[in-house]
Chain A
Amino acid sequence: MKQIIGICIAVIVGTNTFSQSDKYIKTMESKLISVDTTVSVSGLTDLSNSFQRIGDAEKTQWLPYYYAALASVKSGYMQSMGGQVPNPTAIDQAADKADDLIKKAEELSKDNSEIYCIKKMIATLKMMADPMTRWQTYGPMAAEALAKAKELNPNNPRVALLEGQDKFFTPEQYGGSKAEAKVIFEDAMKKYESFKPESSIAPQWGLSTVKYLYSQCK
């Protein structure tokens, strides 16, 4: 009995005195599971909002804002895909929100390769909303951000993922190539293998995307 009481007390005391940083890590870990698996626009919006709440509460952590931006930019990509003609206004909103968030992340962590990857994704998303008139502005902006991400960390597997994606989705007439994409994806997989995330909540997403796209490179 005493044991039970002891455990109970320990639980109560334990949950109440959970250190703030543990709570942060635990919450982040629980949310991160959804990053690679959420595909609906509303789900990604919700996820982005959740990360933003953590960021706003923590104030000094760049990762919550980083993931909030990632989820927002992904929700934009979801809207630009599908068979229908995309709705540029909705895409712009998602991109602008992601842009606000990544700026907050950048204030907390300068010269971060992962942050530049998101910036690349935002620029590409902005361009996709109206490619004919925007490619001259956002095309170079995307290329520049990706180059900067690569410069800051040449071994970042997400840089390779984004490079491969560009090659994969670009029509051959415009210099895209599934064969070249395949080589980049192979390289990306190697980089994912050797990549050591700094912590359990540091960016490590993307491998499943690489594997899927690699399987499509036939």
Chain B
Amino acid sequence: MRTLMITIGLIAWQIGWGQTTISGKVSDNKKHPLRGVSISIKDSYDGATTDSLGRFQFTTTEKGSQILVASNIGYKTLEQTILLGGTNSELELVMKEEVSELKAVVITAGTFEASDKKKTTVLSPLDIVTTASGNGDITGALKTLPGAQQVGETEGLFVRGGTAAETKIFIDGTLVNDFFYSSVPGIAQRGRFSPFIFKGTVFSTGGYSALYGQALSSALILESIDLPERSEANIGVSVISLNGGYQHLAKNKKSSWGINYGYTNPYLAFKLYHTVQDYTTYPIYHTGDANFRIKTSKNGIIKYYGYFSQNQLAFRTASVDTPGYKDMFQLKNFNMYHNFSYKENIGKKLKMYAGFSYTNNKDDRNGSLEDQKNEEVILPGLEFKKFGLKLKGDYLNGKLVFEQRLKGLAMLRFGGEYNYSSDRSYYTDYNSQEFDHKINEKLAAGFAESDIYITNDLAAKVGARLEHSSLIDKTNFAPRLSLAYKLGAQSQASVAYGIFYQSPEKQYLPGPVPLGFSKATHYILQYQKVSSLTTFRVEAFYKKYEELLKTVAFYGNQQMLATNNNGYGDAKGFEIFWRDKRSVKGLDYWISYSYLDTKRDYLNFPYAIQPNFAAKHTASLVIKKFVTKWKAGINASYNFATGRPYYYIGYDINSHTYKFDDMGKTPDYNNVSISFNYIPGIGKQNAKAFVVYVLAISNVFGINQIYNYQYSYNGIRKEPVIPSVKTFIYLGAFISFGVDRTQDAINNNL
């Protein structure tokens, strides 16, 4: 009987005392309960998952001193020693958020990013090519974002009251000198590079990183793609172009190479549409590019991208300078661009980025005045209409950046940049007199920048840049600072401050007196709220311009000579961006609005005034929808800008001063564009070819658009600068031969 008692006792012990119940609650350091946390006794099976109130309870047969482990994604794993078998006390566990890139606050003041990766991304790379008003051009799509102006008569990005020259463009870290095709009077030129070669785009409308410089307003930072997804050949045919290419991915997926060739000739299109210009040589472009990419290690890659293009055009337009006569303009351009970049992890925490680029550009421009019979004439007082201008440029850019990872997410970046440029110009006037001009510049820069995470919710980026220009023999020091503070799970506030310098534009160098850098100081305040399907951001800015160039007349009023750095100005305003993929299923749209109040006194301005490239209100609406039934993507966009001022600045020879002889304001700018992408073969298995048809119509409603006004040399007459074609219809087919993976891709969810 005693044995029985003992046995029963033993059983009771086994059941009652053998098991310990552990219960408790898990919260974060703000006392919010944490759900889905895995609780376990180390090296045992016992444990539980917390419920929506952060509570857990489980029993264990483990005894004695054990380690309790709490783990949850995004939190530091918590280990706590507990004594089992004693009293079942309620455990209160507090988990700390892990400092991770996923959760940490990211500095976003002034930047718009288009990439696949980061959560700060506002656009995807695909958005760049599917924005209706973008016409497949990188900067075209960026003009639908707040901060950028709708300037149609000149290429480039005019950001927050800045000129196009105040925006610099970088590919894989290095400066690109001739991003756009050579300027043609009155017609904005496209970017030279296909948007498809880039996987990441960072568009900074102010307060950008110390790694970049020589841009008073804005930096556009482009990152080229790594290895392609697969080997593929492609052909494209459109109303204005033909192109073909081949991309080869090695079997081991460690390297790739590719070549492309394109031919553009708008003969057909220009026969159909009335163009403002009367072309004697249609704009014909030959472009070719080649690339290779070699993966050197898990994180290392060598990339090469080489490009060449040759283009020419010639046209007549009615001359504003003298009624009844015509202006003849001719342009031939050759451009070559090579970019090497190398990225490698050279230590556990040290990364290296090296970039090198070389550009060779040749422009051959000719102008003349023609009579009604299209015969060249030289009229007294208008001799300057006859000219020849050859421009030759060689540009070398090198950059080396090291990125040292410090504690946690903290980071230190430092390095240097070297830009060499050689510009030669050969000007021939009406009586064959030649004027040669040569200018070399060596710009060296050093920079350092650190990302500091004070907490997961508060981050700072502190940087500085030191630059020396050999040409003007001056040095500048530009500090940059930005802060971001996380207000909630989805919202954050950022501020940015920075000083930015830019060398005088080459055409003013060397001046009759020593010239210095122009300077801009940016102050930016931003609030943003980003959920997975919506983005809202509002940004206010103040930009102060100092030491802008001032010019005086030279050769009558035809040439300008920079004489001092006494120009100044400012720009202030606010911008709103809203993107929504949630409200209507399958519909994706964004709205941007910019308010800009800017004045400047620079070049030959008599006093500070709103410059002719700045509109007070600018807005865009971009809509995208993919209709599964039709296998088609429909994109539409509406761009609006209030009128911009225009004026004629006359020179009074007696008083040697400038004055506004005439002034006005253009009508508001409205543009509605639509595009359709039709993909009939989508999902067809074992299809050898994959075709995308594109139909794009710009200015669908044929709204009259006046970009600006052009004055005659003496300011007596003016004429509106309008788009060369009112409504343009683009039709194209792009065929790729490779493995069609749309089937796997679209899969379950569409």
Contact = CB atoms under 8 A, between A and B. Distances in A.
Interface of A: 1, 4-5, 8-9, 11-12, 15-16, 23, 27, 42, 45-46, 49-50, 52-54, 56-57, 80, 85, 87-89, 93, 96-97, 124, 127-128, 131-140, 142-143, 165-166, 169-171, 173-176
Interface in B35-52: 35-36, 38, 40, 42-49, 51-52
A16 B15 CA distance: 12
Interface string B204-238: 00000000000000000000000001100000000
Nearest to A124: B747
Contacts of A88: 532-533
B474 to A, nearest CB: 45
Contact of A5 (B3, B51, B126): B3
A173 B229 contact: no
Contacts of A132: 124, 126, 626
Interface string B386-426: 00000000000000000000000000000000000000000
A91 B312 CA distance: 52
B7 interface: yes
A136 B14 contact: no
Nearest to A77: B748
A136 B748 contact: no
Interface string B662-703: 000000000000000000001111000000000000000000
B653 interface: no
Contacts of B47: 49-50, 53
Contacts of B7: 5, 8-9, 12
Contacts of B40: 49, 53, 56
A143 to B, nearest CB: 4
Interface in B605-623: none
Contacts of B46: 53
A85 B682 contact: no
Interface stretch (B346-354, B512-520, B722-730, B738-746): B738-746
B749 A53 contact: no
A4 B4 contact: yes
Contact of B747 (A45, A93, A136, A139): A139
Contacts of A175: 682-685, 742-743
B36 A137 contact: no
Contacts of A96: 73
B736 to A, nearest CB: 12
Contacts of B742: 135, 139, 174-175
Contact of A127 (B43, B44, B745): B745
Contacts of B628: 171, 173-174
A138 B741 CA distance: 10
Nearest to A136: B229
Given A8-B11, A53-B40, A54-B45, A140 B747 contact: no
14 contacts: A50-B45, A50-B47, A54-B45, A85-B533, A124-B748, A137-B229, A140-B745, A166-B743, A169-B748, A171-B746, A171-B750, A173-B631, A174-B628, A174-B750
6 nearest A-B residue pairs (beta carbon): A139-B745, A174-B683, A175-B683, A135-B745, A49-B38, A143-B744
Contacts of B230: 140
Interface of B: 3-4, 7-8, 10-11, 14, 35-36, 38, 40, 42-49, 51-52, 73, 116, 124-126, 229-230, 532-533, 581-582, 585, 626, 628-629, 631, 682-685, 741-750
Contact of A137 (B4, B116, B631, B748): B116
Instruction: Select the residue from A1, A23, A136 with max chain B CB neighbours within 10 A.
Output: A136
B685 A128 contact: no
Contacts of A128: 747-749
Contacts of A89: 532
Given A5-B4, A53-B40, A85-B585, A139 B750 contact: no
Contacts of B48: 46, 49
A80 B10 contact: no
A10 B631 CA distance: 70
A93 B73 contact: yes
Contacts of B748: 124, 128, 165-166, 169-170
B45 A1 contact: no
B490 to A, nearest CB: 10
Instruction: Select the residue from A12, A56, A142 with max chain B CB neighbours within 10 A.
Output: A56
Nearest to A94: B73
A45 B47 CA distance: 13
A46 B73 contact: no
Contacts of A57: 43-45
B746 A45 contact: no
Nearest to A176: B683
Contact of A12 (B14, B116, B126): B14
B640 to A, nearest CB: 27
Given A134-B116, A136-B229, A52 B746 contact: no
A123 to B, nearest CB: 9
A131 B683 contact: no
A191 B749 CA distance: 26
B575 to A, nearest CB: 24
A11 B124 CA distance: 64
Contact of A49 (B49, B229, B746): B49
Contacts of A12: 7, 10-11, 14
Nearest to A59: B43
B107 to A, nearest CB: 20
Contacts of B8: 8
A53 B56 CA distance: 15
B750 A131 contact: yes
A131 to B, nearest CB: 5
A25 B745 CA distance: 38
Contacts of A140: 229-230, 741, 744-745
Given A50-B49, A174-B628, 12 more contacts: A8-B7, A12-B11, A53-B45, A85-B581, A85-B585, A127-B747, A131-B746, A131-B747, A134-B116, A166-B743, A171-B750, A175-B682
